[in-house]
Each structure stands twice: as C-alpha cells, then as structure tokens.
Amino acid sequence: MRKTGARRAPGRPRSQEADSAILSAALDLMIERGAGRTSIEQVAQRAGVTRATVYRRFPDKTTLLIQAIEAEHRDHDPGAPDWPDLSLMVHDMASYLSRPRHRRMLRRLYGAVDDHPELLRSYRDSQGGRRASAELATLARARDEGRLPPDTNPEILQQILNGAILHHLGAYPDTVTAADISAFFIAVLKQTGYDQGRQRAAR
C-alpha cells in the first residue's frame, strides 16, 4: 500500500522569488503613489507576474502592503537595540531617517492614517514598536546619569522626539545628511535640558 505524504495546498508551489518581487513592487508603488492609488494590477505588472499569482499569496491589497512593510524591516536591526548612551541612539535614528526611501515611506504611511490606519500600525509593530522600549530605557538611563533633568518623563520625551521626526519629514529635503539630522535631534534634546557635554562621544 502506497503511503501518502502531507497533503499539499491547492495551486502552484510558492516561489520565494515571486514573493520577493511582489512585496518589493508593492512597497515601491506605495512609496511612489500612495496606498490609495496602488492596485493589485499595478503590483502584478511591476513584479512581472499575473494578478492570479498575487491573489494566491495575498487576499487583498491591505494584506499585501502590510506584509511588504514588514518585509522591508525584517532584516533591519532585527533585535531590540541596546544603545549604551543617548548620542548613539540619536545617531541610529538619524541614519535611518537619512535614507530617502525610508523618509518617503514614512510620509506615505502617516498620510494614509485616515484611510489605511493598519499600515502605520504594521510599521510600528515591525520597526517602531520593537524599538520603543529600548528608546525609553535609553532616555531613562540618560536621566538617571544626570544627562537629562531629574524630573524628565521618558514617555513624554519620546513623544517629543516622535513629533520632531514628523516635523523633519515635512520640513527638510530628502537629501539631508545623517549628521544634519543628528544635529537637529540634539538641538531638540537641548531644549529639554539635555547636557551633551556629559555624554560620551559616539564611536
């Protein structure tokens, strides 16, 4: 009697190459046109596959875009970072925001918050969310070491920095350098009482 193996799901075998092409095309189109003006048909054309191929993997556009955002950040700093001091945290934030692709993606995500709030949620879960606790820990340590005022609330200061990021995305060109962005964040932190002179220099 012939033994039967595990039952295979209907349809063609999944192709990792096709998956990557579809996810990359979806994110590129969202960045170029916005979530509302991105369609499954456009993604299929950009990825060089059929619409049926896309729908076999992703039931709708929102699911596709969510997975594209997650894939973009899956290999970027995969673990929760452990910054030894505040200047290194600022340097890391500035490095991420100095990449034009990241800046355009963030503007699209915040611009879609009314119609597609789940996209921004996905970004926060896959990128911003996993770093939030590390940011709070770094801010609290800077306060405890005397580099921030003793009455500093790390949660409020984190919100201030998030607001500074949004302002920077809208007010500064995408050609801005990481060094310029770092200087911007340091200037914001100084307004909250940050004593940069007592901070170790970033290597």
CATH number at residue 56: 1.10.10.60
- Give the CATH number, domain containing residue 112: 1.10.357.10
The pLDDT confidence band at residue 59, using thresholds 50, 70 and 90, is very high
Q: Indicate the SS3 state at residue 9.
A: coil
Tell whether 166 and 118 lie within a shared domain.
yes
Q: How far is CA 83 from CA 6, 55, 91, 138, 183, in A?
A: 46, 41, 10, 7, 18
Do the domain assignments include residue 117? Answer: yes
- Is residue 168 within 8 Å of 181, Cβ to Cβ? yes
Q: Which of 25-29, 64-68, 168-172, 193-197 has the lowest mean pLDDT?
A: 193-197
**Mean local confidence (pLDDT), 168-187:** 97
Domain finish residue from 73, 93, 119: 73
pTM of this prediction? Answer: 0.79
* Single-letter amino acid, residue 75: D
Q: What digits encode the pLDDT tens for the residues 129-171?
A: 667 888 999 999 999 999 999 999 999 999 999 999 999 999 9
Over the range 111-139, which residues count as b (16 or more CB within 10 Å of their CB) and which as e?
A: ebeeebebbbbbbeebbbebbeebbebbb
Q: What digits encode the pLDDT tens for the residues 83-100?
A: 999 999 999 999 999 999
Residue 77 φ/ψ, nearest 5 degrees: 50, 65
